[in-house]
Amino acid sequence: MRLEKTPIVKCEVLPGRTERRLSYSKHPPRGALRVIDFVLQLVIAGLTVGSAYALVALGYHVILRATRAINFSQGEFVVLGGLIAYTFVHVLHASPWLGLLGATAAGFALGWIYERIVLRPAARNGDIAVIIATIGCVFILLYGHALIWGSLPQPLPPFTGAQGQALHPGGVAIQEQSLWVFALLAFALFVLWLLFERTTFGKAIRAAAVNPIGAQLVGIDVNAARAASVGIAIALAAFGGTLLGPITLVGGTAGTAIAIKGFVGAVVGGLDSPLGCALGGLAVGVIEKLLAGWLPYQAVDPVVYTLLLFALIVRPQGLLGRRGAVRD
């Protein structure tokens, strides 16, 4: 069997970002098979980071359903969740799995508090006040976690195996952590569906969102239902930040970019459709990585944001959304 020399792949952390960018050190691969392997590698990387965008998009969906508002600080809660998991692992010497559970539980508690002290008071002054409040919280959270954990990204160990350990089907490398990301994203989707469609608690949350007055008349605590919804959304963000931590590092200033790209995914897929939000987030991740494999990274974000503009013009309800579904 003849061994062929393959192009050298380098891994770099981009300035101001907490994601590692894979690129060929000299030139893109030559030959049909190498190009296919290269594209497949980019797709896998896109699905991995797109899983975080999908969880952020799902958070937008849950909060929008409950409060009729967009939470633009969702991305900072992704970063904060990863840093909480980092504290569990490196300070309390817990396993990454306990870090994941702890960060998710802390995310739910933070979301409950966030709804009580930020969203609920702001909602009394209208939707614009809520949007401004969530934007203000972006900077509070950004500088807050920088003061506590520092401004440099921090590493998280993988859930299983050694750092960077990967499977190699064909000419493609798939990190073990990426497999956990895919599996746990599917698990989160299933749990959300089960919660909102098959439990009394979930149906109470839905009723409080659709008809608050009617829900109160049948004994549902509307404020508690809204707080629980926001808690679930922030828990999803913390969950996603911990999942990606072993691959992209945690901390830094990537929260705003994650929030925007998660929002793009939600709009493309359909803000009123949980499946659409998840698929939209995955699609944005794949598109981003495919572009990053062939274009300078400075050109990637403008193309992704152009996708948002195009989606709003062509199909504002999203691919799986219903026209007028998010209107009051």
Q: CA-to-CA distance for 259 and 265, rounded, in angstroms?
A: 10
Domain that holds residue 133: 9-314
Q: Is residue 240 part of a domain?
A: yes
Q: Which of 28-42, 151-165, 278-292 has the lowest mean pLDDT?
A: 28-42
Report the pLDDT averaged over residues 105-119. 96
Q: Is residue 1 part of a domain?
A: no
Residues 6+ apart with CB under 8 A from 243: 51, 52, 55, 100, 177, 180, 181, 184, 185
Q: Is residue 38 part of a domain?
A: yes
Three-class DSSP category at 211: coil
From the list 123, 85, 274, 277, the residue with the least C-alpha distance to 197 is 274
Report the pLDDT averaged over residues 105-110. 97
Q: CA-to-CA distance for 127 and 122, rounded, in angstroms?
A: 8
Q: CA-to-CA distance for 153 and 18, rounded, in angstroms?
A: 6
Higher pLDDT, 228 or 253: 228
For 46, half-sphere exposure in the C-beta direction (CA atoms, 13 angstrom radius) is 24
Q: Is residue 97 part of a domain?
A: yes
Residues 6+ apart with CB under 8 A from 165: 158, 175, 176
Report the pLDDT averaged over residues 223-243. 94
What's the pLDDT at 3? 38
**pLDDT > 90 in the chain, percent:** 52
Query: For residues 41, 43, 48 and 50, what is the CA-based torsion angle, rounded to 10 degrees?
Result: 160
pLDDT score of 91 more than 90: yes
What's the pLDDT at 324? 57
Higher pLDDT, 212 or 88: 88
Specify whether the CB–CB gap between 148 and 87 falls below 8 A: no
Q: Is residue 2 part of a domain?
A: no
The structural domain count of the chain equals 1
Q: Residue 231 maps to which CATH number?
A: 1.10.3470
Q: Is residue 27 part of a domain?
A: yes
Query: For residues 130, 132, 135 and 140, what is the CA-based torsion angle, rounded to 10 degrees?
Result: -90
Phi-psi region of 76 (alpha: psi -120 to 50; beta: other; left: phi over 0): alpha
Q: Is residue 276 part of a domain?
A: yes
Q: What is the DSSP letter of 29?
A: -
Report the pLDDT averaged over residues 24-37. 62
Report the pLDDT averaged over residues 215-230. 91
What's the pLDDT at 323? 66
Pairing of strands 166-167, 174-175: antiparallel
Three-class DSSP category at 128: helix
- Chain mean pLDDT for the chain: 85
From residue 6, give the alpha-carbon distance in Å to each of 33, 46, 174, 178.
11, 22, 17, 23
Q: CA-to-CA distance for 67 and 223, rounded, in angstroms?
A: 10
Where b means 16+ CB within 10 Å and e means fewer, 309-319 reads eebeeeeebbb
Tens-place pLDDT, residues 156-201 = 999 988 787 888 887 788 889 999 999 999 999 999 999 988 899 8
Q: Is residue 324 part of a domain?
A: no
Q: Which residues on adjacent β-strands are paired with residue 10? A: 23
Kindly indicate the confidence band of residue 224, based on its pLDDT and cuts at 50, 70 and 90: very high
From the list 185, 208, 186, 184, the residue with the least C-alpha distance to 196 is 208
